[in-house]
Amino acid sequence: MAKKTDYQKERAIWYAKLKEDGFEDIEQDEDNLKVWSSYFSRKAQSREFMESKTTYYYLATKFLDEYEFETPLDKSIWTYHEAAVSVRDIAKILAKAKIVDVSYVTIWKTIERLSFIMKKLYLAGYTEPNE
């Protein structure tokens, strides 16, 4: 049997503490939930949701073609986002290509920032949700 790494030992300690406090993880592993909710499935199948998603990705493609990105990294991240690649997969792709090792948070914040700019450009009267 393989020797446990420091990370695995530390993780086991923290998971034991969480379990002792009554915490129940909803994730089976890094990529899967233990139980899938039908609520999100129903929402994803609604006509309104599908139309909004179609419109968003139409605008994302238009934005990719027309916008002057500040950095090549911004453009790379948006290119993958526009193709509906997940944040996790974008990070893996960028790391594998040795472009840069970027955290999920950095990628998510870049997408959020660019998405806001896109909506301001193409949606009349759009303001930030907390404005």
**Rounded Cα–Cα distance for residues 76 and 56 (Å):** 18
DSSP conformation class of 70: S
State the alpha helices, DSSP H only, in 67-103. Answer: 72-82, 87-96
Mean pLDDT of 53-67: 95
- End-to-end alpha-carbon separation of the chain, Å? 56
**Rounded Cα–Cα distance for residues 68 and 74 (Å):** 10
Please indicate, yes or no, whether the overall pTM of this predicted structure exceeds 0.95: no
**Rounded Cα–Cα distance for residues 106 and 79 (Å):** 15
pLDDT at 73: 93
Per-residue pLDDT tens for 22-49? 887 777 777 777 776 666 666 667 788 8
